[in-house]
Amino acid sequence: MKSRVRGARTPGINLVPMIDVLMSVLTFFVILTMSLTGRVIADLDPPEIAGGFAKEEALFPQTKVKAPNLDVGLNRQGKVLLGGNIIQRDELLPAIATFLETNPQGEVRLTIDGQLNYQQVDNLLVQMVEVGGDRVLLVVRKSDPEL
């Protein structure tokens, strides 16, 4: 009898169903990502004032009260400025505490030049935050001839 063994066929892998599944998963994630990025409210037109869009101050003038700021600076020589005048470092913290007591909504802004040494800025900022907490802000300017 003759053996009926024919040449062994290597099994083939059909890639089309795998590609279909991958494309379906990719489409699912694209749609999910697009739906989470933002909501658009249909038929909502923002108010216009004099041909341009209104700013928040124009819409709610009575609710927008500007809180007073205490401007503190640090010049390139490491000297502390308060209101544009050079003061001693030990005078700064009591001045911040007094300002924050008299102005409960006030903010203290430390304005520095971007070229300053980080250690100098960090030391002063840590001291200011100990006194003022979350009402102390850091403002970094690219270059300011005053500072």
**Looking at residue 29, what is its pLDDT?**
93
List, for residues 102-125, the tens digit of each pLDDT value. 888 888 888 887 777 778 788 888
Domain boundaries, the chain: 63-141
Which helix (H) or strand (E) segment is 138 a member of? strand 136-141
List, for residues 18-58, the tens digit of each pLDDT value. 999 999 999 999 998 888 776 666 665 665 655 555 555 55
List, for residues 130-147, the tens digit of each pLDDT value. 887 778 888 877 764 554
**Looking at residue 144, what is its pLDDT?**
47
Class assignment of domain 63-141?
alpha beta
